[in-house]
Structure 1
Amino acid sequence: MKAIIAAAALAAVALPAQAQDKFEVKVAAFVGAQHFMSKWLVTWGERLEKASNGRLVFKHFPGAQMAPPPAHYDLARTGRAEVSWFLHGGTPGRFPLTELISLPYMAGSAEIGTKVLNDRQLRSKYLDREHRGIKVLLLLTHQPGNIHTTKVPIRGADDLKGLRIRFAAPTIRDFVAALGGTPVGVQPGEQLERLQKGTLDGTFIDYGGAGIAFKMGGTLKYSTEMYSYVSSFGVGMNPDFYKKLPADLRKLVDQSTAGVEKEVGEGWDALDAIGKKLLIEGGAEAIKLSAAEDARFRKVGQQVVDAKLKELEGKKLPARAVYKSMKGLSAKHAKSSRSFW
């Protein structure tokens, strides 16, 4: 009888102990801790820690501590990190349909772009299947980017000819080439050094990235406000880690990124004014395009769109259907979201 009572008591203790198992979540980010998205991920983790009563414990590794930017997707896929924030353009060609959001003049703000990418039907039918080996928690974009240069001001579509310009995604590589520039593939953290050494003449990047994340103030001398493209990113979780979580914690994870598109998008869009201020304080000139030159850039942009859709359809990908869906969603969300256009 004593043995039975002891066993029952042990079982009574064991059940709540099992329910209180803790799970460490390593979160990898490829930019520094001061960046909006790094801070957002910290806040997101704190919310989950609180909601789980401390059963989820987050450790953050900003500044590419765990791997270079191109390897961040694979950090989550392989389980080296439980969660990773990654740049689609860091591995060109791996996410061809998702990166259609980066085609010229697709989305007028991060809020719009992030809402587009997280459309339930678009993701379930096309985008999530490109993210093999991870559980997608959130897709997002930065605010529209501009062309920034060190020596030559870009006041019209002809001014890029012969300039070595860093591109942020394959679609922007094609845009640079179509404008007569020489597209150069450079990882985000290498841009500033290349600009300072003179092996790059300019870069396509958003104001927040240029002024805040990569501290280009004082190096960049001209910023042409085209607001012509957005780069896309993802936040992904290792699927094996997700599966081993108890059902209640899996539910908390699922709920944690539901409906955050406006919050995340507005956060990115707010970086535009801050980053611009830092560049101007460093001596940069902000250039606004005339209506005629803006139209010329947009015309070239549409040529890039048509060529990219033809290229991907030649690979048997449903590019035109995805593009049409994204354009329609972008126009829809532009009615209720901020736009830089």
Structure 2
Amino acid sequence: MPGLPPLNIAAVTPVLLLALASCTPVPRGDGSEGGSKSLILAHPLPPLAPPRSGVIVPFTQRLAEVSGGRLTAAEYMGGALASDARRYYPMLLEGVADIALVVPGYTAVAFPRTALSTFPGVCDSPTDCTAALQRARTVLQVDYNARILAMWSPGPPVLLTRDRPVRRLEDIRGLKLRVPSGVEMPFVAALGATPVQQPVTEVYQSLQTGVIDGVVMPAGGIPAFRLNEVASFLTIGMPLSATPVALLMNRSAYDLLAPQERRWVDEASGVWLSESGGQVFELATARGLRVARESGVEIIDLSESEEARLLEAVAEVYEAELSRRIGDATVAEILAELLGG
């Protein structure tokens, strides 16, 4: 019609989905009746991202399999419902999506217990870090106004730098380093660097142009964000653990399912799905390091004595945090759950 602006489908899609969700009747019964139901599963990942192949796809396939196709999950990927990854948890709570992938570290203040999984010494690999999350799951659940379907970890971060190789503590001093969340900031500052929070989508340009000197992030993300093109050095041995990733389900959406449908969701999620996420990041970490090496990035593996110096440099920050209370537990008590103590 002349004079009318074109409709922005991307902008109205979340509103339409929310409206439909609010007026769609929820079938009752035990879930064994005929017909089918589809849940909305949203995430910001591209098709080839490790969390999609390791968690999203296995979940949707298992759900369809155990339910005989009577309960499925319709996947809205690549930012179809929101371009900002920080929006996915609020969007889940609002009911725009029934299930969403959330990175707690992006809004760490909202997930204070989960954020402690990034502390030094908690874990040293994707599978080890994922196991730590499973040990503390009962404690971490308090952070979420949603049902945890899976929680896994990409593993501890490496340090990618453009101009200066980091072979010892002194090399870090004065660098401006991008960190995944606010939790890592005091530890990175204790090493003598200036920590900067920045969306991972901006890291390539910032490192290329010198806005930042380096990036603290898991090696598994190197190929996806092409950091091998702009980094010259990669240092292994940073005194940090890992920022987790979670697949969450809206509590009301889960509670409104019939009993049999809830059992299908439970069977398609849980520990096995979390472990699948950790395992796929083991492969992604190896691939990220291989891609970096093949691109000419120098890999620097800190010696045990140098790693000890870095840990000593952050020890004061670590010790100062232990007595802080989060709800009815201290940081030390929550860390003990993660460590299995």
TM-score calculated relative to the size of structure 2: 0.85
Q: Please give the alpha-carbon distance, in whole angstroms, between the structure 1 residues aligned to 2:327 and 2:194.
A: 26
Q: In the superposition, relative to structure 1, how do residues 294 and 72 fare at CA in structure 2: closer, same or farther (>3 Å)?
A: same
> What's the CA shift for 1:73?
1.4
> What's the CA shift for 1:269?
1.3
Does residue 1:215 correspond to 2:201, yes or no?
no
Paired position in structure 1 for 2:67: 52
Does residue 1:76 correspond to 2:128, yes or no?
no
CA RMSD of the aligned region, Å?
A: 2.2
Paired position in structure 2 for 1:150: 162
Q: Please give the alpha-carbon distance, in whole angstroms, between the structure 1 residues aligned to 2:31 and 2:328.
A: 52
> What's the CA shift for 1:107?
0.4
The structure 1 residue matched to 2:144, chosen from 122, 128, 131, is 131
Structure 1: give runs of 5+ residues left out of the alignment.
1-13, 330-341
Paired position in structure 2 for 1:262: 275
Q: Please give the alpha-carbon distance, in whole angstroms, between the structure 1 residues aligned to 2:250 and 2:285.
A: 32
* Equivalent residue runs for 1:74-113 within 5 Å: 74-113=90-129
Greater Rg by CA: 1
Contact 1:189 1:214 in 2 (8 A): yes
Structure 2: give runs of 5+ residues left out of the alignment.
1-27
The structure 1 residue matched to 2:45, chosen from 13, 16, 31, is 31
Paired position in structure 1 for 2:179: 167
The structure 2 residue matched to 1:242, chosen from 254, 263, 279, is 254
Identical columns (%): 25
The SS at the match of 2:207 is helix
How many residues get paired? 310
Q: In the superposition, relative to structure 1, how do residues 152 and 79 fare at CA in structure 2: closer, same or farther (>3 Å)?
A: same
The SS at the match of 2:325 is helix
Paired position in structure 1 for 2:208: 196
Q: Please give the alpha-carbon distance, in whole angstroms, between the structure 1 residues aligned to 2:264 and 2:258.
A: 10
Q: Please give the alpha-carbon distance, in whole angstroms, between the structure 2 residues aligned to 1:160 and 1:88.
A: 27
Paired position in structure 1 for 2:298: 285
CA shift digits 1:250-290 (9 cap, x unpaired):
01111222331433222211211101111122221100112
Q: In the superposition, relative to structure 1, how do residues 58 and 277 fare at CA in structure 2: closer, same or farther (>3 Å)?
A: same
The SS at the match of 1:220 is coil
Letter in 1 for 2:166: I
CA shift digits 1:69-122 (9 cap, x unpaired):
111112221111111111111103111111111002310111122122122xx3
> What's the CA shift for 1:145?
1.2
Contact 2:31 2:258 in 1 (8 A): no
Q: Please give the alpha-carbon distance, in whole angstroms, between the structure 1 residues aligned to 2:31 and 2:290.
A: 53
TM-score calculated relative to the size of structure 1: 0.85
Letter in 1 for 2:154: H
